[in-house]
Amino acid sequence: MTVQDRLRGFIIDELRWDGPGAALTNDYPLIERRVVDSMGIYQIVTFIEGEFGIEVFDEELVPEHFGSIDEIALFIEAKRAS
Amino acid sequence: MRYLLHHLLSESAQAHPDTIAVVDGERSITYGELEHRSNQLARLLIELGIHRGDRVGLYLEKSLESIIGIYGVLKAGAAYVPFDPHAPTGRLAYIAGNCGIRVLLTGAEKATSWAELKRAGAPIEVLVVLNADRVDADPPRGTRLYDRTATAGHIDGAPAVSGIGLDLAYILYTSGSTGVPKGVMLSHQNALTFVDWTVDEFEVRPDDRLSNHAPLHFDLSILDIFAAAEAGARVVLVPAAASVFPVEVARFIERNEITIWYSVPSILSTLVRHGGLAGGEFPSLRTILFAGEVFPTKYLRRLMNLLPHVEFANLYGPTETNVCTYYRVPPIPEEQTEAIPIGRAIADVEVFAVTDDGRMAAPGEEGELYVRGSTVMLGYWGDPERTARGLIPNPIGGELHDPVYRTGDLVREDPDGNYRFFGRRDAQIKSRGYRIELGEIEGALYAHPAVVECAVTAIPDELITNRIKVYVVTRGSVQQAELIRFCSDRIPRYMIPELWEFREVLPKTSTGKVDRQALAMSGGV
């Protein structure tokens, strides 16, 4: 399962995405469409910290890193590489 | 003399037509344009058969267009009903049916939901798209669709519609204990009394820049939008990203040189914890107002220490009273953990506490808070019984039987005259500033055929006030995910329980009611 698929699974199961799973594409705007709200963002952070063994700092909590599933995956990749 | 909400706009448009009124991301609109475009919209609405007293729905993402929509509706003599753009369509269809909405102002981004809304029983006949010149979607059967060109074709000049301050200006639907939302009716005068007080108390001036964080269906937005209009100041709509990322909140305040911020405390708590503030930020910011829930004292103190040049005030009031009390927060001692008071009454409002046996509570004695004054609502739409329970003849006023509102909030008065909030008389809770009736969540769950019994409880939480937990007894096997999906079609996401516990049976009291206390104890909370 790719990082993207794991993120998608988490968003569907834990953040209660109520649309059809197929509509939640890798570039779907998570923030503008309110898939992720002010609580959801911390759930995602907790999830990726536990799942991918990284630590997310406050200053990294920006739309550029969390705007879509692809962006989150890129962010995780960059964190693991560093 | 101004006595209607849209008079505030017209006066500012006349005094300084070229001043920016509203900022929405990269876009903005001046007072002159806002006046002009809302006049055109009002004329279109009148042509569509809208009369004084009618209700017009507002169903689009918060934007310049939704502000134009608000004023257009008011200028047509009607009342606006803001829909939560992210609520389930079933709930919105109920609201539309409940207050008889025939005309819906909407946005192209909502096109995919129109048919569903109609199928779910909304009596909508006309859709007016405010933010697109051309809409590719077909209107659902039985509705007519107008785009922005229909509005733009109308001449300027406010239509001649008479009105008085007691007329209905807007209806805000809040969670109802019987399983369906209830519509709080507020008049022009209800809002104006509060707006006048705000402008006066916090000295809102033309060079102020107010944030608008609250959604339009949340009464906090009344302050931002109309206090700015009264002062001829600028209101800046907070984008979605700034609600999610604390660092973005900080950037937003900085970049827009916000002078007055107003929101629920939870967003300010996360700003303190994760916003990367080092102290001394936001030189333009002078006032932070918060309302809707209790601000955890330690985060409030930290924020005040980080921003020593800013004044802080707690505003309190159920939607039914706009705001009825306020408290300017003095420096908070390091060792204090107790929540700050809700304060004392705003101008032209009276509050008092009544004991269980119907006496006026003495200072220090617990009682239910009653509110009297011109910010108090007209009633609940289409529900005279509920209105009669909420608005009762003044029990203390002697011969003056003017209605007072029973808040259901338990308070105590400090020796210095400030009131303190202690809790609720009923099963209403707050979570992240949202007002939630636990009964409405239970109502949604009971609609599922497999749910035999359920009890929804609130677990106190330092950051978001309460987390929602449900105990369920089901018939046959039904998955938690299935129940969550089922709830998602009926209640907004913030009402869906976070914690689920499946039981064989729920404990009962001697009178056969679910024993919530026993549940809370057994749940380890």
Q: Hey, what are B245's tokens?
A: 């990322």
Counted across chains A and B, CB pairs separated by less than 8 A come out at 50
User: What is the least distance, in Å, from the CA of A59 to any CA of chain B?
Assistant: 7
Residue B106 lies in a domain: yes
- What are the CA-CA distances from residue B136 to residues B129, B133, B164, B238 (Å)? 11, 10, 40, 29
Interface of A with B (CB under 8 A): 13, 16, 18, 31-32, 34, 36-41, 58-59, 61-63, 66
Contacts of A31 in chain B (CB under 8 A): 240-241, 244
**B282 and B301 share one domain:** yes
CA distance B95 to B328: 37
pLDDT of A22 strictly over 90: no
B156, B186, B216 — which closes off a domain? B186
Phi-psi region of B398 (alpha: psi -120 to 50; beta: other; left: phi over 0): left
Q: What is the ipTM metric for this complex? A: 0.84
Please give the sequence-ordered ranges of beta strands (E in DSSP) within B382-511, or none if there are none: 391-393, 403-413, 419-424, 428-431, 434-437, 451-461, 465-474, 499-502
Residue B465: predicted pLDDT: 87
Q: What is the mean pLDDT of each run of 10 residues along chain B (525 residues)?
A: 96 97 97 97 96 97 97 98 92 97 96 94 97 89 92 82 96 88 97 98 98 95 97 95 89 97 91 90 97 90 97 97 97 91 96 92 94 96 95 78 90 96 86 87 89 90 88 89 88 90 84 78 60
Q: Is B309 found in the same domain as B413?
A: yes
Q: What range defines the domain where residue B382 resides?
A: 238-424
d(CA B316, CA B323): 5
Q: Which one of B424, B457, B485 terminates a domain?
A: B424
pLDDT at position B397, please? 65
Contact: B496, A37; criterion CB under 8 Å: no
User: B416 and B453 in contact (C-beta within 8 Å)?
Assistant: no
In which region does residue B142 sit, left (phi positive, over 0), alpha (psi from -120 to 50) or beta (all else)? left
Tokens standing for residue B268: 């300010």
B489 and B380 assigned to the same domain? no
Asked whether residue B270 falls in the same domain as residue B159, the answer is: no
**A18, A42, A46, best to mutate vs chain B, most B CBs in 10 Å:** A18
**Per the structure, how many domains does chain B have?**
3
pLDDT one-digit tens code per residue, A30-74: 988 888 887 788 889 989 999 999 999 988 999 999 999 999 999
Which CATH number do you get for residue B364?
3.40.50.12780
Asked if residue B146 lies in contact with residue B32, where contact means CB atoms within 8 angstroms, the answer is no
pLDDT at B523: 60
The Cα–Cα gap between A28 and A45 comes to 18
The 3-state DSSP class for residue B116 equals: helix
The verdict on B263 and B405 lying in the same domain is: yes
Antiparallel, parallel or unpaired: β B103-106 and B55-59: parallel
**Domain end residue (candidates: B145, B170, B186):** B186
Whose CA is closest to B74, among B186, B151, B205? B186
Q: Are residues B406 and B436 in the same domain?
A: no
Cross-chain residue pair A39–B464, CB shorter than 8 Å:
yes
Test A63 with B241 for CB contact under 8 angstroms: yes
- Are B408 and B440 in a shared domain? no
**B144 and B245: one domain?**
no
Select from A38, A40, A58 the Cβ nearest to the Cβ of B247.
Answer: A58
Angle at B519 between CA B517 and CA B525, to 5 degrees: 85
Helix (H, G, I), strand (E, B) or coil at B282: coil
Residues of B with CB under 8 A from a CB of A: 86, 240-241, 243-248, 266-267, 270, 274-276, 432, 464, 481, 484-485, 488-489, 493, 496
CB contact under 8 A, A38 and B243: yes
- Which is nearest to B221 in space by CA: B237, B240, B204? B237
Q: List C-alpha distances in Å: B102 to B49, B112, B142, B212, B515.
A: 10, 19, 11, 28, 44
Are residues B246 and B381 located together in one domain of the fold?
A: yes
In a domain, B216, yes or no: no
